Amino acid sequence: MAGSPTVAHQVVPEACDRGELRVAAVLLSLPTLHDRRATVGEIRRFLLDDHVHMALVVERAQLLAAIESEDLDAGLPDETPACSIGSLDGRTICRDARLSEALELMHRRGRRRLAVTTEQGDVVGLLCRKASGLGFCSDEDVRRRRQSLPQADGAGR
């Protein structure tokens, strides 16, 4: 069982061809979530990391906004509530969807990230396609990267 996520992350093309994998098999299960009180300034700082492409704003577990850099108009004051910008349209997928559907949506929308939700809209993870296009980022990948970063303010991602 412990090896299953890693295997799934490596066999994505073949399994997608057979329609066997679901989004839940390869999602990041512990994405960084921002409270509904998050501001545009906080999200701007979060998105400065070149490994971060989407910020998820939630109230309890409910996804309110999926924010990408292009949503952050330079004229928006830093104090603006982050939940008032961003979009869910084309940026979310249900955890039970076939991975082939997710790949098609990502390709059509030109993105590498999708927020993963339940049918009710609760966040359960983040689908993150690797820059190489050869698979998906895993929780282990993220954990290793976080451990290698200097922690200037004591907060991790």
Interval 58-73: pLDDT, tens: 999 999 999 999 999 9
In angstroms, what is the C-alpha Rg of the chain? 16
Task: Tell me the C-alpha distance between 126 and 137, whole Å.
Answer: 9
pTM of the complete model beyond 0.75: yes
Q: Name the band, by pLDDT with cuts 50, 70 and 90, for residue 93.
A: very high
Residue 12 and residue 135 in contact, taking contact as beta carbons nearer than 8 Å: yes
Residue 22 and residue 121 in contact, taking contact as beta carbons nearer than 8 Å: no
Interval 14-47: pLDDT, tens: 555 555 799 999 999 989 999 999 999 999 999 9
Residue 131 and residue 118 in contact, taking contact as beta carbons nearer than 8 Å: no
Which of 32-36, 97-101, 138-142 has the least mean pLDDT?
138-142
Q: Which residues of 71-86 are buried (b: 16+ CB within 10 A; e: fewer)?
A: bbeeebeeebebbebb
Task: Tell me the C-alpha distance between 50 and 72, whole Å.
Answer: 15
